[in-house]
C-alpha cells in the first residue's frame, strides 16, 4: 500500500557551516533527496542554530527541497519568513503549538508542505484530528536539540501506529524519522513504516557522502522490500 520511494534528507546541523554552500552541493551530488534544516531557538530546545537568512542562503546553493524543522516556541510567528526564504516543507513541534490546526493551515496558505513533529514523549494521538491535513509527520527518535544522539528504540511502536493510521485513512502523508538514524538503525525505522529519513552525523560525519547515502538507502529499501512496502524505484 505504501508506494512512495524512500527519501534521504541529510541534516546540515552536522555540516561545516564555514563551507555551507560547498557542503550542500556535495550532498546533492552524492544523491541526497532533500536537505533537512534544523532551526533551534535556545528556548524550545537548549541549543541555538539558524534563521531565515541561512535558509535563504541554502536555497541559493541547492535545488533540492528544503525540509525545515522548527524547534522553536511560537513557530507561527516565523512560518511565513521561512517559506519566503525558500522552505519547501515547514515542520512545527506539536508541543510548541497552542493552535496546531491553525498553524498547519498557515503553513499551507504560505505555500509550503505542512509537517508536524512529535517529541519522544508525545503520543501519536496528538495528531488524531489533524492527520488528514498534513503532508508529513515527523517522529523524533531522539530528544531534539543536538546531533549525534542515540536512536530511541521505543519510538518504533509510534512509527508503526502512525503508519497504520496513514494507510487505513488512505492518506498520502510522508512519515519521517529524525535522530540517531544510521545504516544500522534505519532498517528498523523503515520496517516500522517510515519512508523519509533525516541523517546528520551518518552523512556529514562520513568521509564519502555518496557511500553514506547509498548505505542508508540500501538498508531502508531492503527493510521496506522485506515488509512489502518497497515502491520499486
| Binding site residues, ligand DX5, CB under 6 A | 11, 13-14, 36, 38, 69, 142, 144-149, 178-181, 198-202
38 binds Zn ion per the rule CB under 5 A: yes
Min CB(230)–ligand DX5 separation in Å: 23
Q: Out of 38, 135, 195, 221, which one is annotated catalytic?
A: 38
Residue closer to ligand DX5 by CB (options 21, 148) is 148
Own/partner pairs, 104-111, CB within 8 angstroms, 24+ separation: 104/130, 104/133, 104/134, 105/133, 106/76, 106/79, 106/80, 107/79, 107/83, 108/133, 110/79, 110/80, 110/83, 110/84, 111/83
Whose CB is nearest to ligand DX5? 200
Q: Out of 67, 135, 178, 221, which one is annotated catalytic?
A: 178
CB 199 within 8 A of CB 13: no
Across the beta sheet with 113-118, the strand order is 7-10, 196-199, 174-178, 136-140, 113-118, 89-93, 66-71, 35-40
Pick the stretch among 15-23, 31-39, 146-154, 187-195 that binds Zn ion (CB under 5 A): 31-39
CB 76 within 8 A of CB 98: no
Pick the stretch among 30-38, 81-89, 123-131, 154-162 that binds Zn ion (CB under 5 A): 30-38
Nearest to 88 by CA among 105, 113, 110: 113
Q: Is 67 a catalytic residue?
A: no
Rg (CA), the chain: 16
Residue closer to ligand DX5 by CB (options 141, 230) is 141
Min CB(135)–ligand DX5 separation in Å: 18
69 binds Zn ion per the rule CB under 5 A: yes
Min CB(178)–Zn ion separation in Å: 4
Nearest to 190 by CA among 71, 135, 182: 182
Residues 189-228 as x/- pattern, contact with Zn ion by CB under 5 A = ----------------------------------------
Question: How far apart are alpha carbons 4 and 229 in whole angstroms?
Answer: 8
Residue closer to ligand DX5 by CB (options 195, 230) is 195
Q: Is 178 a catalytic residue?
A: yes
Residue closer to ligand DX5 by CB (options 61, 143) is 143
Question: How far apart are alpha carbons 88 and 34 in whole angstroms?
Answer: 10
Residues labelled catalytic: 38, 178
Amino acid at each position: 500500500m505504501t508506494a512512495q520511494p524512500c527519501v534521504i534528507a541529510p541534516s546540515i546541523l552536522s555540516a561545516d557551516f564555514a563551507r555551507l554552500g560547498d557542503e550542500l552541493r556535495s550532498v546533492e551530488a552524492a544523491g541526497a533527496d532533500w536537505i533537512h534544516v534544523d532551526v533551534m531557538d535556545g528556548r524550545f530546545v537548549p541549543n541555538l542554530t539558524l534563521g531565515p537568512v541561512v535558509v535563504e542562503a541554502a536555497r541559493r546553493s541547492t535545488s533540492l527541497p528544503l525540509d525545515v524543522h522548527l524547534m522553536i516556541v511560537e513557530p507561527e510567528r516565523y512560518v511565513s519568513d521561512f517559506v519566503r526564504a525558500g522552505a519547501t516543507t515547514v515542520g512545527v513541534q506539536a508541543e510548541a503549538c497552542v493552535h496546531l490546526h491553525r498553524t498547519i493551515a498557515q503553513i499551507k496558505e504560505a505555500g509550503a508542505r505542512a509537517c508536524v513533529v512529535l517529541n519522544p514523549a508525545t503520543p501519536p494521538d496528538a495528531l488524531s484530528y489533524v492527520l488528514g491535513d498534513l503532508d508529513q509527520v515527523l517522529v523524533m527518535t531522539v530528544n531534539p536539540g543536538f546531533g549525534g544522539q542515540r536512536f530511541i528504540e521505543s519510538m518504533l511502536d509510534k512509527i508503526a501506529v502512525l503508519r497504520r493510521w496513514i494507510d487505513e485513512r488512505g492518506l498520502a502523508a510522508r512519515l519521517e524519522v529524525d535522530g540517531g538514524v544510521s545504516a544500522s538503525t534505519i532498517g528498523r525505522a523503515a520496517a516500522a513504516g517510515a519512508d523519509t529519513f533525516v541523517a546528520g552525523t551518518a552523512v556529514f560525519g562520513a568521509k564519502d557522502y555518496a557511500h553514506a547515502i547509498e548505505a542508508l538507502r540500501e538498508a531502508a529499501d531492503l527493510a521496506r522490500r522485506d515488509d512489502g512496502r518497497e515502491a520499486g524505484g
